[in-house]
């Protein structure tokens, strides 16, 4: 029932979602859940209900959108923002307050992080204001409540929690000083009325373009340009850098900040590109390493120290968890060093090469990233994240056929996994 193209088209029209960016299985599962909730017996029955209910339309959107965010995600972006904001105020002779936009703002972690970063950088409350906007009213309401659990505090540096939060029974509540700097509202980046907003000095729009097809990416990018001052800065997600480069932006040159400004000269018309959704970095489930030496290890069997298998597995899993933590904190050099350490001391696994590929991708080294993704797929041919990221790189290089083959493999994997979960 849920594979009906009508539901894909509805989400594309309402929020610009490209089904290939998340995989059809995620949308199909959301439609099934909503159909069951309303006891719909057929696709037509649920479709009629969906068309006649604004509340149900929003409920389906909410079921598809799964927020994945935490405070000071990509910490170098916020450190860079603090430095740029001080320079910007000096350029303006402190004649007006800075305007910053967080779109989408999800459940509030990003706009509140922006406010905390600027306060900690020495800006006074009257010198800046932050607007947070999201298509999900539920997420916006959670952001307005401003109470967060431990999942929102993932980095090693959590000293900001002592300065800007108040502990309470159900979590940590954002302080009034930070809350007053942020205005939260429901909004859609595809709404033409958004272009009437005065431009912002800094815009955070991270991990949004990856959900759109090429035509919608261009449309959203034009909106983002209108929303950003000509000499302003746009902060994006780590998987979106090559896309912005082809749409007429350039990196400001600060590693791990994912910050872009406009080119002084327009770039040639970009080739069609579909960027894969970046998967949350996580350690895989514990597995027993294969008994024989595998390619790409860089370690001779005779150099591997003898140790009980159980102890070796525990050490390997702990190191994998360390790599994930470092990568999630934006500590690319340390994460890469931990990957090298893993490959020196343990049998290679696909996830380590995927991380190395992602780190190279974030650093702008496309050939190296492509090589690491291929190594990951050699070890685990159906590794979903490696498939999608390698597909994005091939697409950006004009290899549409190669990219499509990888995307189809990833889609088949998702459908298979979904079928197994239903058993």
296-308 residue pLDDT tens: 434 333 333 444 4
Structural domain contains residue 286? no
CA distance 408 to 405: 5
130 shares its domain with 193 = yes
Proportion of the chain in helix, strand, coil states, percent, rounded to 5: 55, 10, 35
Mean pLDDT of 15-24: 78
Structural domain contains residue 274? no
Q: What's the mean per-residue pLDDT of the chain?
A: 82
237 shares its domain with 318 = no
pTM over cut 0.85: no
103 shares its domain with 252 = yes
**Banded model confidence at residue 392, pLDDT cuts 50, 70, 90:** confident
Encode pLDDT of 44-93 as tens digits.
Answer: 999 999 999 988 988 898 888 766 789 998 899 999 999 999 999 999 99
Q: Which of 262, 284, 316 corresponds to the end of one domain? A: 262
pLDDT of residue 423: 55
pLDDT of residue 348: 79
Mean pLDDT of 148-167: 91
120 shares its domain with 221 = yes
331 shares its domain with 208 = no
**Banded model confidence at residue 381, pLDDT cuts 50, 70, 90:** confident
Domain region containing 109: 75-262
**Banded model confidence at residue 311, pLDDT cuts 50, 70, 90:** low
Half-sphere exposure for 159 (CA within 13 Å, toward CB): 3
Encode pLDDT of 111-135 as tens digits.
Answer: 999 999 999 999 999 999 999 999 9
Structural domain contains residue 288? no
Place of tokens 């967080």: 102
Burial of 347 (0-12, 13-18, 19+ CB in 10 A): buried
Encode pLDDT of 241-296 as tens digits.
Answer: 777 877 778 889 888 888 999 864 444 444 444 444 444 445 555 444 444 444 34
């Amino acid at each position: 029932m849920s594979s009906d193209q009508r539901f894909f088209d509805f989400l594309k029209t309402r929020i610009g979602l490209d089904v290939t960016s998340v995989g059809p299985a995620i949308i199909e599962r959301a439609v099934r859940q909503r159909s069951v909730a309303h006891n719909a017996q057929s696709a037509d029955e649920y479709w009629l209900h969906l068309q006649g209910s604004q509340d149900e339309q929003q409920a389906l959107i909410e079921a598809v959108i799964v927020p994945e965010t935490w405070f000071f995600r990509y910490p170098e972006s916020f450190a860079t923002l603090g430095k740029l904001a001080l320079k910007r105020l000096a350029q303006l002779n402190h004649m007006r307050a800075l305007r910053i936009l967080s779109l989408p703002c999800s459940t509030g972690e990003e706009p509140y992080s922006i406010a905390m970063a600027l306060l900690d950088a020495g800006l006074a409350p009257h010198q800046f204001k932050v607007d947070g906007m999201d298509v999900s009213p539920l997420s916006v309401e959670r952001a307005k409540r401003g109470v967060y659990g431990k999942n929102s505090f993932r980095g090693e540096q959590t000293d900001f929690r002592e300065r800007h939060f108040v502990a309470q029974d159900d979590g940590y509540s954002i302080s009034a000083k930070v809350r007053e700097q942020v205005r939260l509202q429901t909004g859609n980046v595809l709404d033409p009325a958004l272009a009437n907003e005065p431009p912002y000095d800094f815009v955070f729009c991270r991990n949004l373009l990856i959900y759109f097809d090429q035509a919608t990416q261009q449309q959203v990018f034009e909106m983002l340009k209108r929303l950003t001052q000509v000499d302003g800065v746009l902060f994006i997600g780590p998987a979106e850098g090559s896309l912005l480069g082809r749409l007429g932006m350039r990196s400001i040159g600060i590693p791990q900040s994912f910050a872009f400004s406009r080119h002084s000269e327009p770039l040639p018309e970009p080739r069609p590109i579909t960027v894969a959704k970046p998967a949350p970095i996580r350690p895989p489930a514990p597995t027993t390493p294969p008994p024989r030496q595998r390619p790409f290890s860089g370690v001779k069997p005779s150099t591997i120290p003898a140790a009980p298998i159980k102890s070796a597995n525990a050490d390997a899993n702990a190191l994998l968890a360390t790599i994930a933590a470092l990568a999630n904190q934006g500590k690319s050099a340390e994460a890469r060093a931990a990957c090298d350490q893993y490959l020196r001391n343990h049998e290679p696994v696909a996830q380590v090469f995927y991380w190395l590929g992602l780190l190279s991708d974030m650093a702008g080294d496309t050939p190296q990233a492509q090589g690491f993704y291929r190594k990951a797929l050699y070890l685990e041919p159906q590794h979903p994240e490696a498939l999608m990221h390698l597909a994005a790189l091939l697409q950006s290089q004009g290899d549409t056929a190669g990219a499509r083959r990888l995307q189809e493999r990833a889609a088949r994997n998702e459908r298979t996994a979904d079928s197994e979960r239903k058993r």
